[in-house]
Amino acid sequence: MQRLLATLIVGLSAATPHSYAADYETELAASRKTVQEFMQSLKQELQAGMQDGGPVNAISVCNLTAPAIANTYSIRNGWDVGRTSLKLRNPANAPDAWERSVMESFEERKRAGEDLTTMEYHEVTGKKGSQQFRYMKAIPTGKICLVCHGEQVDSVTMTRIETLYPDDQATGFNEGDIRGAFTITQPLQGK
Ligand code: HEC
């Protein structure tokens, strides 16, 4: 019986890792704020890029600006900030094993009917003394995203994308799909 219980507990904690929510409110709030700002700057850059010269111009904006913005946050805070996906455009945004499993759980949560706009996950990982607070937030596919990530991307836009990203997998999305996720790793000092 004890053996069975132990197995059950181990099984459960593997499926739903402990998130220590109460102890890490500061880290959680800081992650949420950074994602908000990051999302806002991306949106502005994208809109400005589209207005200036349509999707082909905006691709160059995404290509150069998105990683640069992510980098700014990383440098400012000593964190690792970025975007990732299960279907990648830029292989440099590839998820690690933890990020992949969180995004797979996001897909499950979506299938179970959860609202994408508030879908997030956080967890403390690593060994004591070198722990990290990790945070992810789902990125829903909106209508504007379909211009470059949808099922029917126009041929001029697609040619530009394929030139920059020969291994592109990030088309074929529909409105309401999970396009990917923001991901933040904060090193925890003294915790
Ligand atoms: C003008 C074309 C264009 C539009 C519109 C666009 N994207 Fe992208 N997207 C790109 C490009 C180019 C990249 C690769 C950026 C890079 O090199 O990091 C990208 C990368 C991404 C990534 C990073 C993961 C990966 O696959 O490399 C996510 C997440 C993403 N886009 C989400 C969105 C969402 C959500 C929208 C709508 C709000 C959107 N995109 C609209 C062109 C676009």
**Nearby residues of 173 by Cβ (< 8 Å), 6 or more positions away:** 87, 141, 145, 146, 149, 150, 151, 179
- The upper half-sphere exposure of residue 147, i.e. CA atoms within 13 Å in the direction of its Cβ, equals 16
Mean pLDDT within 1-27:
56
pLDDT at 15 over 60: no
Which structure tokens are listed for 133? 């607070």
Q: How confident is the model at residue 22 (pLDDT cuts 50, 70, 90)?
A: low
Q: How confident is the model at residue 190 (pLDDT cuts 50, 70, 90)?
A: low
Q: How confident is the model at residue 119 (pLDDT cuts 50, 70, 90)?
A: very high
Give the whole-number percent of the chain exceeding pLDDT 70: 87
DSSP three-state, residue 86 = coil
Mean pLDDT within 87-114:
98
Which structure tokens are listed for 167? 């291994």
Q: Which atom of ligand 1 is nearest to the CA of 67?
A: 18
Instruction: Give the Cα separation of 42 and 61 in Å (integer).
Output: 9
Q: What is the pLDDT of residue 191?
A: 60
Q: How remote is the CA of residue 77 from the centroid of ligand 1, in Å?
A: 24
Q: Which atom of ligand 1 is nearest to the CA of 140?
A: 35
Q: How remote is the CA of residue 81 from the centroid of ligand 1, in Å?
A: 15
- Best residue among 64, 175, 179, 182 to mutate for probing ligand 1's pocket (most ligand atoms within 8 Å of CB) is 179
Mean pLDDT within 3-10:
46
Q: How confident is the model at residue 12 (pLDDT cuts 50, 70, 90)?
A: very low
pLDDT at 20 over 80: no
pTM of the model: 0.88
Q: How remote is the CA of residue 137 from the centroid of ligand 1, in Å?
A: 15
Tokens 């706009």, residue located? 117
- Best residue among 65, 103, 145 to mutate for probing ligand 1's pocket (most ligand atoms within 8 Å of CB) is 145
Q: What is the pLDDT of residue 168?
A: 97
Average pLDDT across the chain, whole number = 88
Q: How remote is the CA of residue 25 from the centroid of ligand 1, in Å?
A: 30
Q: How remote is the CA of residue 99 from the centroid of ligand 1, in Å?
A: 18
Q: How remote is the CA of residue 149 from the centroid of ligand 1, in Å?
A: 7
**Nearby residues of 1 by Cβ (< 8 Å), 6 or more positions away:** none
Residue 169's alpha-carbon distances to 22, 80, 94, 112, 173, in angstroms, are 38, 24, 12, 25, 10
Mean pLDDT within 166-177:
97
Q: For ligand 1, say whether the CB of 144 is within 6 Å of any of its atoms.
A: yes
Mean pLDDT within 90-102:
97
Q: How confident is the model at residue 21 (pLDDT cuts 50, 70, 90)?
A: low
